[in-house]
Amino acid sequence: MILSIESSCDDSSIAITGIGDFKLHFHKKISQELEHSRYGGVVPELASRLHAEALPKILEEAREFLPHIKAVAVTNEPGLSVTLMEGVMMAKALSMGLGVPLIGVNHLVGHIYSLFIEQKERLPKRVLLVSGGHTMILDVKGYKDMEVLATTLDDSFGESFDKVAKMMGLGYPGGPVIERLAREGDENRFDFPVPLKNSKKLAFSFSGLKNAVRLAIGELKNLSQKDMADIAASFQKAAVTHLLQKSKSVCEKLEPRDFAIVGGASANLYLRDKFEKLCGEKGLGLEFAKMEFCSDNAAMIGRAAIEAYKAGDFIDPKELKVLPKSCFT
């Protein structure tokens, strides 16, 4: 079994995964959303202190599996340096203490492998990754064989939901709140610009849309519940339309390939519905990670680590570094 640890942002999580059969024997996650909510975003030092409390507690619950552990895996890139460090320190100590190899996992690769938790890998695929830190389309052929086809020029998709929620005083994380509000709103009331609509660039951008929302909020001054719902719905429509348009361009430019959507924001049901329609029209298969594995978790890190284990891709504990900004190896 592999013991995996995730602490790249505000979720402390540990999983135990069977190497041969992919079985998830243990999985626990303690989210810090409540603690960060009143600040309207993740406070790195607070997150790091909460990881230092939560990770040993979760490890204690997984104690019975320790004699069966053949490798320890940990997210070491990208993420917040102070929070990544908490998981990495624990992983190094466990690897040395148990005398088993250490595996460093890229968080984004982890999100991609959230598709294959308790399953065999099914590749190649085009994958749209929508999270709080990233928005990209990748051509994924294997664990170490993936190419970024489009990425964001500024904010990420999830981050834009967080910022719009913050502008309306709705707390953090913004994604689920905006999605919920949008269900009651009129998505055609505000004509927010769909980013890069007339550009051939295969890229994403959310800062212009965010500013358009800011201006609309400024003009309204006192926001009613109806105003907030209409803003949420109109913003969500523009943001998702942007993802759809660029994904469509990628599909049209390159040979057809099945599509998958991963990352915390892939839990958005409006997005899921729109992509189901698009892929249906194009005759492409579409997959999502299970709802419980969309946001950050150690099960996806453990699943990705199985591929590294099979390839013998281990790292000396003295060499494993925290890489906050890295994207892909």
Shortest distance, position 181 Cβ to Zn ion, whole Å: 23
In the complex with ligand KG4, the residue whose CB is nearer, 13 or 95, is: 13
Contact between 7 and Zn ion (CB under 5 A)? no
101 lines the binding site for ligand KG4 (CB under 6 A): no
Contact 157, 276 (CB under 8 A): no
For residue 161, the 8-state DSSP code is H
Residue 267 near ligand KG4 by CB under 6 A? yes
Per DSSP, the residues of 117-154 read: TTS-----EEEEEE-SS-EEEEEEEETTEEEEEEEBSS
**Binding of residue 297 to Zn ion (CB under 5 A):** no
Scanning 147-155, 170-178, 219-227, 309-317 for contacts with ligand KG4 by CB under 6 A, the matching segment is 170-178
Q: Which two tokens stand for residue 111?
A: 């999100």
Residues 268, 137: Cα–Cα separation, whole Å: 17
Q: In the complex with ligand KG4, which residue's Cβ is closer, 19 or 48?
A: 48
Residue (4 or 131) nearer to Zn ion, CB? 131
Residue 180 CB, nearest distance to ligand KG4 (Å)? 8
Contacts of 276 (CB under 8 A, 6+ apart): 286
Nearer to ligand KG4, 156 or 249 (CB): 156
Q: Could you tell which of ligand KG4, Zn ion, none binds residue 78, using a CB distance below 5 to 8 A set by kind?
A: none
How far, in Å, CA of 106 to CA of 74, rounded? 9
Residue 6, contacted partner among Zn ion, ligand KG4, none, CB below 5-8 A by kind:
none
Nearest distance in Å: CB 319, ligand KG4: 25
Q: Which of 296, 298, 300, 306 binds Zn ion (CB under 5 A)?
A: 296
Q: What is the DSSP letter of 201?
A: -
79: left (phi over 0), alpha (psi -120 to 50) or beta: left
Instruction: Kindly state whether residue 83 participates in binding Zn ion, applying the rule CB under 5 A.
Output: no
CA dihedral 231, 232, 234, 236 (to 10 degrees): 150
Q: Is 173 in the site for ligand KG4 (CB under 6 A)?
A: yes
Q: Do residues 65 and 25 make contact, with C-beta atoms less than 8 angstroms apart?
A: yes
- Helical pair 269-282 and 225-253, crossing angle rounded to 10 deg: 30
Binding site for ligand KG4 (CB under 6 A): 9, 131-133, 158-159, 161-162, 173-176, 179, 263-265, 267-268, 295-296
